[in-house]
Amino acid sequence: MKTAAVIGAGIAGIAASIRLATKGYAVDVYEANAYPGGKLSTVEEGGYRFDAGPSLFTMPHLIDDLFQLAGRNPTDYFEYVRLDETCRYFWDDGTRLTAWADLERFGREVEAVLDEPAEHLHGHLVDSALKYDVTEKLFLHRSLHKLTTWLNRDALRGYLNLPKLGVFRTMNSANERRFRHPKLVQLFNRYATYNGSNPYQTPATLNIIPHLEYNIGAFFPVHGMISITNSLVRLAEELGVRFHYNTRVTEILTAGKRVAGVMSDEQRAKSDDEPPVVSATHHSSLVTHHCDLVVSNMDVVSTFRKLLPNARQPERILRQPKSSSGLIFYWGIRRKFTELNLHNIFFSDDYRAEFDSLSGQQLADDPTIYLNITSKHKPDDAPPGCENWFILLNAPNNTGQDWDTVIAQARQNVIRKLSHGLGVDIEPLIETEAVLDPRSIESRTSSWQGALYGNSSNNRFAAFLRHPNFSHQFKNLYFVGGSVHPGGGIPLCLLSAKIATEMV
Ligand SMILES: Cc1cc2nc3c(=O)[nH]c(=O)nc-3n(C[C@H](O)[C@H](O)[C@H](O)COP(=O)(O)OP(=O)(O)OC[C@H]3O[C@@H](n4cnc5c(N)ncnc54)[C@H](O)[C@@H]3O)c2cc1C
């Protein structure tokens, strides 16, 4: 039986392990943490449960595909529902707007609240669907680094529709042309942050993102985002995949133009009868694992710098600017707020200034706040009468800032803004607190500089400057996850696993 080693049990690593197992490989997944999922994991604090990272779930069929590939019925493992409300938006001047899944209703809301003709909204979403349709097969389902991708009917369609893709203007300028109300421009500019980019720099091609949320839909996994990880790990284990936790890969072993396996550092819990080791309850041992192919789900920059330091480094790709990071507060709140729902946004007054701050490696004083409350749909995530607040701010990459000071200041800014928006002092309602910041994102997942989505998409060539899903140097080395083609976010990570394993 052929053997494969997967480095990392992030969503793409798990998906790759399932796909390889269905191809007949014996698969071992080595995971540095004690738990699977990487960014897609869970946090528990004082009776509250939070999804640690991703909260917006789109394109659920990509998860279903994995169960179907393995001959299973997806609903035996994983359940989700379509949301009838996509997001609630709040501005400091008291304006409130709900984005409904029913687009006619959303159109009426936009007309009533912002006096913006509904046809502007509908036109934008039709255009978004067109962009998606043209780019999907070309950019999302194939390697951009194989000639066959560029010599077929889908590519021809792409060339013919190039002017419609918005490659030559920014997202903001396209949205300013489309909408007359600045608040609607801001609302649709926000989609740049779905892959950690800046709407004033990223090309309007990224206006494909609203298509996912509005035309295909936003969904909620009935047992929380963590059930994506848990159900896929269960499937993988049933297919014979072996997960090795607390096992960090320290080196990819090479032999000429091939990789021969991985070296791992296994942190074993010390048993009582073993002699004490210096200042630790764990100790390490280096172990070599030989295999026929290796898939790295570790960030590609970290893979080259740390696991392949003697290989040729693809500098141009590795040095691309990274997507933004995030600062997350997990707050247990001892009250319920009927004006809030699952997804809520409290916009900054000056969106451009916010992105200028991020470009200057700083957090804005008036940040846009994303507030996610899963207990609205999954009441057991919070004690009775309480809510689990997941608060995400766009944050710069970790370049050595004084994060403790930055976090303390940001906390005050968030409390001030939410207290103003909700008309009640929030601070005394915070019962429990945990924090995730660019430093801890980097240390917990090996994401370079704590970037949430690998490289940024702030220039029109970004898609071509992500690392391919295969290695040019080593025939049997593959790459999956948010730092490589086609990019970050759960759907694209799942597609990276599909593209990589189809090349095997
Ligand atoms: C706060 C936040 C909010 C987000 N919101 C959304 C959202 O709403 N919707 C969405 O679709 N996406 C969202 N994302 C992005 C999404 O979470 C990621 O794109 C995706 O989960 C990344 O998956 P991955 O497969 O690249 O692996 P990661 O999650 O980065 O995991 C990599 C894994 O590899 C392990 N690893 C690394 N190096 C080694 C090594 N040497 N040896 C062993 N193991 C190793 C790590 O421990 C980790 O478990 C968000 C991310 C964050 C952090």
- Residue 92 Cα to ligand 1 midpoint, Å, equals 32
The model's pLDDT over 182-219, given as tens digits with 9 standing for 90+, comes to 999 999 999 999 988 999 999 999 999 999 999 999 99
The pLDDT assigned to 283 comes to: 56
494 and 12 Cβ atoms separated by less than 8 Å: yes
- Residue 483 Cα to ligand 1 midpoint, Å, equals 9
Work out the percent of the chain whose per-residue pLDDT is above 90: 86
- Split at pLDDT 50, 70, 90, the class of 269 is very low
Report the C-alpha gap between 224 and 217 in whole angstroms. Answer: 17
What is the mean pLDDT of the segment spanning 121-144?
86
The pLDDT assigned to 151 comes to: 65
* Ligand 1 atom with least separation from CA of 444: 47
- Split at pLDDT 50, 70, 90, the class of 456 is confident
Q: What is the mean pLDDT of the chain?
A: 93
The residue among 460 and 256 whose pLDDT is bigger is 256
The model's pLDDT over 30-61, given as tens digits with 9 standing for 90+, comes to 999 999 999 999 999 999 999 999 999 999 99
What is the mean pLDDT of the segment spanning 110-114?
98
The pLDDT assigned to 140 comes to: 79
The model's pLDDT over 24-34, given as tens digits with 9 standing for 90+, comes to 999 999 999 99
- Residue 488 Cα to ligand 1 midpoint, Å, equals 9
The model's pLDDT over 59-91, given as tens digits with 9 standing for 90+, comes to 999 999 999 999 999 999 999 999 999 999 999
Looking only at the bridges linking them, the beta strands covering 369-372 and 48-51 are unpaired
Instruction: Name the residue of 6, 29, 30, 39 whose CB sits within 8 Å of the most ligand 1 atoms, as the mutation to test its pocket.
Output: 39
- 288-321 per-residue burial string, b: 16 or more CB within 10 A, e: under 16: ebebbbbbbbbbbbbbbebbbeebeebeebbebb
Dihedral in degrees, nearest 10, Cα atoms 189, 191, 194, 199: -30
433 and 330 Cβ atoms separated by less than 8 Å: yes
What would the DSSP string read from start to end of 387-445? EEEEEEEEE---SS--HHHHHHHHHHHHHHHHHHHHTS--GGGEEEEEEE-HHHHHHHH
The pLDDT assigned to 268 comes to: 56
Whether the predicted pLDDT of 277 surpasses 90: no
Alpha carbon separation from 291 to 8, 261, 284, 477 (Å, rounded): 16, 5, 22, 11
The pLDDT assigned to 411 comes to: 98
The pLDDT assigned to 459 comes to: 73
The pLDDT assigned to 430 comes to: 98
- Split at pLDDT 50, 70, 90, the class of 465 is confident
Please tell me the least confidently modeled range out of 12-16, 141-145, 172-176, 296-300.
141-145
The pLDDT assigned to 266 comes to: 83
Atom 13 of ligand 1, nearest CA residue: 54
